[in-house]
Amino acid sequence: MMKESAGNIIRNALKSEKTVKSYYGESEIKVYQGDELIENSIMTEYVSDDGNRKIISKDKISRQETAAFNDGSKIIFYNKTLGEAYETEMGMTDMLRLSDPREQLKMMLDMTEDSHECFFVGEEPFLDLDTYHLQLKQKEDDSLFGDVDLWVEQKSSFIVKMTMESAASKIEMEYKEINFSPTFAEGIFSVNIPENIEISSLEKTMEPAEVSLREAAETLGQNFLKFSEDDMKLVKVTLLDYRQSIGRFEVELEYETLEGTPLLSMSVFPTPEGPGMGLGRKNITVRGKKAKFEKMINGITWDEDGLRYSVIMHNPDVPIEDMISMAANMK
């Protein structure tokens, strides 16, 4: 691997003259929890040069079939298996980011800039395309993304293959077919949603509601732990309704210092069950429970008495020892 060449390769890729305005692609995504394959999706993408986009996803394991498409002003999500549909407004900037491969590559590199080292592995052919193989190696084992490998088409910066691997999980994405000069049949960007299915507003569905501690506990079906307010104060309790997407409510609590500076946020929700729902590699102990610390977000997560607690410090300088100590005093 040639570390010294990685910067030049990336700069050249991001300066590529070829702009992908339309394409047709078929890709496969596999998600592993340990050695267990928990998701295996086939995605079909239609992208036109006038901004229209449609993605159809079929999961071989869960048998879920979904579609997402936009008409230039909004995105509509349709879950054929559950018979549910949602729409959300979409700005022009969002549309450009969705379809610009260089922007997608830049976002990935920006998110890993501080936590990973970038290496240029070499030039490799893939699907009759010339690609740069880049490797992003995590500097510490608790990185959010783990080790990342990218195969980037040289002329357009299009990511045609990607793997992310940590101690507990692995994600593989690979295009099986891609056409940068497609011809689309009339009506290909529409999705047939039955008339009896109401298209709900995604923003309204996910709009948080400020509630009391008692209302939050009633929604969760049990009392939950709170931080001691000897050295901090609780300023907001919010209820988030994720029943349509992941089948649960979440409670979010915001804390400030006694001087009024944002200190931390905590999410509480029923401990998820099933394949892939564990915490992954646990690297610390909180309140006598095996827990996970993620340095990138300066957060800790643990399960206790049927609930999952996720705490994120707003101040990046707060050491992990202080976070564990504060959690120990929760009641």
The count of other CB atoms within 10 Å of the CB of residue 321 is 9
Task: Report how far apart, in Å, the C-alpha atoms of 268 and of each of 90, 224, 228, 289, 304 are.
Answer: 30, 8, 16, 16, 10
Mean pLDDT for the stretch of residues 315-323: 84
pLDDT digits (tens, 9 = 90+) for 71-122: 667 888 898 988 888 888 765 445 444 556 777 787 788 777 777 888 889 9
pLDDT digits (tens, 9 = 90+) for 195-213: 999 888 776 666 778 899 9
pLDDT digits (tens, 9 = 90+) for 24-62: 999 999 998 788 898 999 999 999 888 788 999 999 998
User: Which residues, at least 6 apart from 94, have a Cβ–Cβ distance to it below 8 Å?
Assistant: none
Find out if CATH 1.10.10 is the number for domain 206-328: no
User: Which residues, at least 6 apart from 182, have a Cβ–Cβ distance to it below 8 Å?
Assistant: 22, 23, 24, 46
Token couple for 165: 């691997």
- Are 301 and 289 in contact by the 8 Å Cβ rule? The answer is no
Mean pLDDT for the stretch of residues 125-142: 87
119: region left, alpha or beta (phi > 0 left; psi from -120 to 50 alpha): beta
Token couple for 20: 């992908």
Which pLDDT does position 4 carry in this prediction? Answer: 43
Region of poorest pLDDT, from 127-136, 154-163, 290-299? 290-299
The count of other CB atoms within 10 Å of the CB of residue 298 is 19
Q: Give yes or no on whether 3-202 and 206-328 have one common fold.
A: no
- Cα separation, 193 vs 200, in Å, equals 13
Identify the sign of the CA torsion 95, 100, 101, 102.
negative
Mean pLDDT for the stretch of residues 264-274: 88
- Give the residue extent of every domain in the chain: 3-202, 206-328
- Cα separation, 161 vs 177, in Å, equals 11
- pLDDT, mean over the chain: 85
Which pLDDT does position 99 carry in this prediction? Answer: 55
Token couple for 267: 């999410």
Token couple for 62: 């869960």
Residue type for 258, please? L
Mean pLDDT for the stretch of residues 320-331: 91
Fold held by 3-202: outer membrane lipoprotein receptor (LolB), chain A (2.50.20)
Which pLDDT does position 7 carry in this prediction? Answer: 66
